[in-house]
Amino acid sequence: MIIPIAAIDLIDGKVVRLRQGDFSQQTTYSADPLAIALELEKLGFKRLHLVDLDGARAGSVQQLEVLQTLFRNTGLLIDFGGGVQTESEVERILETGARQVTIGSLAVHQPEKLQGWINRYGADKFLLAADVKDGYIVTKAWTTASQQQPADFLDFWQQQGVQEIFLTEVRRDGALAGPAIDFYRQLCQDFPTLQIIASGGVRGPGDVVALGEAGCAGVIIGKALYEQAVPRMRWIELLQKGTYAG
């Protein structure tokens, strides 16, 4: 089974998408994130991945007002992240209404800090993100390569009690080129008790089904929703099933 998760990426309060994490390859879809969120909820999405790209670039959270608006006006379960660096930001995100705080670069560069937050708030309050390029994790809005491989990242944080981790295959992100099915299948086989969420390259409902068959617990869908290359009825048909196993 696999749960589709809609994505809204924010720059200057607007809904945007980047191609392969490149800020110079930005497409703006709407100046009204609430309208987009309400439409996604109407389609049948239950979860929303809300990304503060300004925060990711600046190294501090910037878009809490948008989170507050979406929490107050939709029933979506929201994870929120982008530039989270301090415990006070974690507290503010959770108090503002996020179901989970999304943590990326900090989990690679300052694992002891995240471990402390997990001990205080619980592992279920965090959704970890690993962005992968050429077999290694990249950080800081996909601008900095690390020496850490995805399997090492998953193994370490699973031992810390983290339950959900999503991995973005950066070269496929925003490209509508299809997800890296074999990549996710291998990770799901290696970590069968971890909730692995796929991200990057999804073109339509067929890719969601394929990722579910590969073992993924969830899939984040972005550009495919905004480009409308797939008729909305096909998304509605998929989402109305509730769970998706092929």
Give me the active site residues, please. 9, 131
95 Cβ contact partners less than 8 Å away, ≥ 6 residues apart: none
The C-alpha atoms of residue 203 and residue 238 are separated, in whole angstroms, by 14
The C-alpha atoms of residue 14 and residue 17 are separated, in whole angstroms, by 10
CB 101 within 8 A of CB 94: yes
**Tokens of residue 196, six digits:** 């692995």
Owner of token pair 């909730």: 195
Q: Supply the DSSP string of 114-171, one letter for each residue.
A: HHHHHHHH-GGGEEEEEEEETTEEEETTTTEE-S--HHHHHHHHHHTT--EEEEEEGG
- Helix ranges, 27-86 (H): 33-43, 53-58, 64-73
CB 130 within 8 A of CB 174: no
Which amino acid is it at 2? I
CB 55 within 8 A of CB 13: no
